Structure 1
């Protein structure tokens, strides 16, 4: 499989909320980073995708939509643009997040995955007034990262 096809497989699985296939796209020692998570290893990355997929299914698959494109890939590196529409948080705010992804590949799998998005734009949608007022601050970014890490750790502990 070429690396562009790997990216299409990954996002096709994400659109279908298929966390197992997503995890299978990573090397065992892969790294993932975005505004909320900094993860190491396919198991930890796979747990994050499974948690997010399950949360999406529980909160409202009615608005779930993922579109992807602008895929470019060569032997070592790749990129894509993707947009996800989903419900977030206890009050189910609808978010449209626009993300640019960068990849590094090894042995036909994703070894490094870095997602970038406008955190302030995201926080205004996901968090409402607090996000609008504080989304530009390092304090809120750190708070969101801490909460995301704690949520993933608690989710993993429940599953043994």
Structure 2
């Protein structure tokens, strides 16, 4: 029998494969903390709303996941998202390492790591190739993403 937290992670990613952000949100504790290279520190409902926004805007999307492991306290997985970036229409393949902490059968911390420069080269094209490594450009990517999330949340 697999560990319940392995099942929790698997449920989260199976829901993501179906663009089912509501099921994804049920895997999170109310006080969850999420971070990745773009959304560095989201807490609570903001983290769930980020997934709602991303799934609602997904274009030509697919996801695979593997290497799921977990115990009572922590877990990890590898996942790969394939999609068309809405602002440029460019195709992105983004491999991501995810790390989780658990409490009472819910995810309380979720941290994704990926190469933001690699992502920017795919999503932004020439600008990403030339400047995507630069801190000011990466900060601009973060600001734009947070602005998009704030706009999404304002319409909910």
Task: Give the alignment's TM-score, normalised by structure 2.
Answer: 0.95
Q: Report 1:1-160 matches (<5 A).
A: 2-37=4-39, 38-41=41-44, 43-56=45-58, 60=59, 63-159=60-156
- Matched length: 153
List structure 1 segments (4+ residues) > 3 angstroms apart after TM superposition: none
* Aligned-residue RMSD, C-alpha: 1.0
What is the CA–CA distance in structure 1 between the aligned matches of 2:87 and 2:115, rounded to whole Å?
22
> Structure 1 length as normaliser, TM-score?
0.93
In 2: Cα distance, 1:97 partner to 1:90 partner: 16
For residues 88 and 109 of structure 2, the distance between their equivalents in structure 1, rounded to whole angstroms, comes to: 33
Structure 1 residue 140: deviation in Å? 1.4
Alpha-carbon shift at residue 36 of structure 1 (Å)? 1.1
**CA apart distance, 1:123:** 0.5
Q: 2:133 aligns to what SS in structure 1?
A: coil
Which string of whole-angstrom CA distances, capped at 9 and with x for unpartnered residues, describes residues 4-32 of structure 1?
Answer: 00000000000000000000000010000
For residues 135 and 70 of structure 1, the distance between their equivalents in structure 2, rounded to whole angstroms, comes to 29
Shift of 1:91: 2.9
Residues 99-126 of structure 1 deviation map (CA, whole Å, 9 limit, x = unaligned): 0000000011100000000111110000
Residue segments in structure 2 that go unaligned for 5+ positions in a row = none
Cα displacement (A) at 1:3: 0.3
Following the alignment from structure 2 to structure 1, what is the Cα–Cα distance between the partners of residues 149 and 62? 22
